[in-house]
Amino acid sequence: MYLTPFQERMLKGEFGWVYAKALEIIVKVGEALGSDRLVEISHAHVSGVSYSNIGEPGLDFLRDFYREMPRFRVYTTINPGCVDYGMLSQVIDNKYLGKQALIDEALVGMGAKPVFTCIPYYHRPPLPGEHLAWGESSAVIFANSYFGAMTNREGGPLALASALTGFTYYHGLHELENRVARVLIKISPLIYNKPLSLAGLWIGENVRKVPMLEIKEKPLYEIKALLAAMAASGSHALAVLDGITPKGTYKTSIEETITLEFSDVEKYIGETPGTSETVLGYVGCPHTHPEELVILRRLLEKYREPKRGRLLVTMPPEIASTYSSIVRLLLSRKVDIALGTCPVVSVLRKKYDLMLTNSGKAFFYMRKIHGLKVGIASLKEIVESIYT
């Protein structure tokens, strides 16, 4: 791999062993993939920061770096932790509060923005063609597909290394020739009556090449859910959205056309609540967007309190602050609000019989991680199941 004189000095340890080790990680990964050089990035997003995921080994790794007092060289954001930073949730268990605080201290101490979210593009929307080093699969696919940015689907350690050095390997989706849509997917109008994440689950499981999606105009939160489901059930980091993905950030060479029917995705609807089951409604995977908050406010205005189970809504702390009036209304309706976390990376205080969510990503992970039965429903259906 070719390195500039500055990169050579960094690798030799002239700026400290932390930067040398970080660059070594990037170079080794890049060389293994066939990359011949590095590329500068402008934004790193570090995933794998929840103590419930990384445990003591991950905590020790971060603290070893932090003891040397390095600073991130680029704008850096961090994924959700395993605790509710609002300290109000009765669903999320803050049993690892002390351990998570040590992780957060290390990351923020090195210069990370304490956004604690899986939607870092809310805080800093990337530009078309901008090189990033992002962990968090749902953020990666959204950055590439919606904004036309360029990032591979990185693991937490590599994103951390890129934050420290300001570089990543030039390979994969950083190269235009690897951003070629080869499968055209047309989505049947019947699917639009259900959460679009159903289509995302099918595409993730059944399509291996970069897809190009013909979808009618949908709200941003539906596109967010669609892409996140694709990234969860498959390995997708890019989907070309016809009429949305910026021109010049992809190529097309269509080899196959698929028309996706409702019968293809019906199996992903999953479980429906039984009359005696305790239900956890969940909105916020990926984290709740302001559009969803506005809809939830409208849906909940006519209710006073849940009839069964709880409705959990997770969001970034900044959104809760900006839209505090909506948050207050939700709290008055006994909605469980958790900030800077999500049940995928945290511990639940109790086990529910069923989770009802609009998220294909949550559908995919919550069954595996928490052993829950999960059903997919619209925001309206979720609210009605809990409050009527």
Number of domains the chain contains: 3
Mean pLDDT of the residues in the chain? 96
User: Is residue 325 domain-shared with residue 254, that is, in the same domain?
Assistant: no
Return the exposure string of 40-61: e unless at least 16 CB atoms fall within 10 Å of the residue's CB, then b. Answer: ebebbbbbbbbbbbbeeebbeb
Q: Are strands 43-46 and 38-40 parallel, antiparallel or unpaired?
A: unpaired
User: Is residue 166 domain-shared with residue 23, that is, in the same domain?
Assistant: yes
User: Is residue 96 domain-shared with residue 235, that is, in the same domain?
Assistant: no
Residue where one domain finishes, among candidates 267, 295, 316? 267
Question: For a pLDDT cut of 70, what percent of the chain falls above it?
Answer: 100
Residue where one domain finishes, among candidates 174, 194, 216? 174
User: Is residue 79 domain-shared with residue 47, that is, in the same domain?
Assistant: yes
Q: Does 73 have pLDDT greater than 80?
A: yes
Q: Does 216 have pLDDT greater than 90?
A: no
User: Is residue 235 domain-shared with residue 335, that is, in the same domain?
Assistant: no
DSSP helix/strand/coil, 327: helix
User: Is residue 259 domain-shared with residue 296, that is, in the same domain?
Assistant: no
Q: What is the CATH number of the domain that holds 345?
A: 3.30.499.10
Q: Are strands 38-40 and 167-169 parallel, antiparallel or unpaired?
A: antiparallel
The whole-angstrom separation of Cα 50 and Cα 341 is 9
E strand or H helix at 315: strand 310-315
- Kindly indicate the confidence band of residue 100, based on its pLDDT and cuts at 50, 70 and 90: very high
User: Is residue 16 domain-shared with residue 77, that is, in the same domain?
Assistant: yes
User: Is residue 317 domain-shared with residue 263, that is, in the same domain?
Assistant: no
The whole-angstrom separation of Cα 141 and Cα 150 is 10
Which domain covers residue 46, as residue numbers? 5-174
Q: Check residue 215 and give its pLDDT.
A: 86
The arrangement of strands across the sheet holding 251-260 comes to 240-241, 211-214, 180-187, 251-260
Q: What is the pTM of this model?
A: 0.96
User: Is residue 342 domain-shared with residue 371, that is, in the same domain?
Assistant: yes
- Kindly indicate the confidence band of residue 217, based on its pLDDT and cuts at 50, 70 and 90: confident
Encoded tokens for 179:
């951003």
The whole-angstrom separation of Cα 265 and Cα 267 is 6
User: Is residue 9 domain-shared with residue 86, that is, in the same domain?
Assistant: yes
- Tens of pLDDT, residues 79-89: 999 999 999 99
